[in-house]
Structure 1
C-alpha cells in the first residue's frame, strides 16, 4: 500500500451549497474542523457518518459532464446504496437532484436496480438498490 484515500474532491461553482446537498443526501457534517484542510469560500468538506470525506473545490468556469455523452464524459461518479429506490429518488429530487436518462430494462428484462442523477453542480451519481 502506498497511501490511503483522504477524500474525493468534486469541482463545482458553489462548494458549500454542494456540500450541503450531499450532507442532506448522505448525512454527516459540513466543514467540520480537520487539520488536513483549511476551509474557505473556495473549499468545503463533508465528513460522512461512514468516515468517508467528500471535498468540494470552487472552479469558476466549471463545465459539468453530460450523461451519457462521451464528448463530455462523466469523469467519475458516486454509487449510493439505498434500501428503497423509489423513496430515495423522491428524497434526492426534493433536494435538487436531476434524474438523467437510464436504460428501460437490464439484460434480464427486469427494471434496473439503479438510477442515475445529476447533483446540483451537474456531477452524475447513482442510487443503487441494496
Structure 2
C-alpha cells in the first residue's frame, strides 16, 4: 500500500504562465491558474505539471558535472524529427542531438529546464 499519490510535478521558473503555455503546446492539456505565482497544466489523464514563480531562478546547467540538472522530463513522441522541429519553433533550445541513429534528443525549455524527446 502506498503512502501517497503524486499530486503534481512542479517546475520552478521565472514566468509560470509562459512556461505552462510552452508545455501545453508540446503536451496538450488545459491551463488552470492557481494564483499569482502558480499555474497548473492538467492533462486529459489527470496528471498535473505545475509551474511556480521562483524569484532569482537559476536554470540547471546540463551536462555540467559539478552542477545538478535537478531532474528532467522524458517526452515520448512518434516522429522524433517532426517533434524536434516543433519544440524549437515553440522556444526550446537543442542541447544534444547525439548520433544520427540515437532515439532521443536533449533540449532546454524556455526557462532552461532540460527535457528529452524520445522516439516511441
TM-score (norm 1): 0.87
Within 2, Cα distance between the matches of 1:52 and 1:2?
A: 18
The 4+ residue runs of structure 1 with deviation greater than 6 A are none
Choose 1 or 2 for highest CA Rg. 1
Deviations 1:19-61 (A, max 9, x none): 01000000000016xxxxxx22210110012321001011111
Pick the structure with more strand per residue.
Answer: 2
Within 1, Cα distance between the matches of 2:119 and 2:44?
A: 19
TM-score (norm 2): 0.94
Give the aligned length: 119
Q: Which structure 1 residue ranges, 5 or more long, are not aligned?
A: 33-38, 106-110
Within 2, Cα distance between the matches of 1:50 and 1:82?
A: 17
RMSD: 1.2
Question: Does structure 2 retain, via aligned residues, the 8 Å contact 1:15–1:41?
Answer: no
Q: Which structure 2 residue ranges, 5 or more long, are not aligned?
A: none
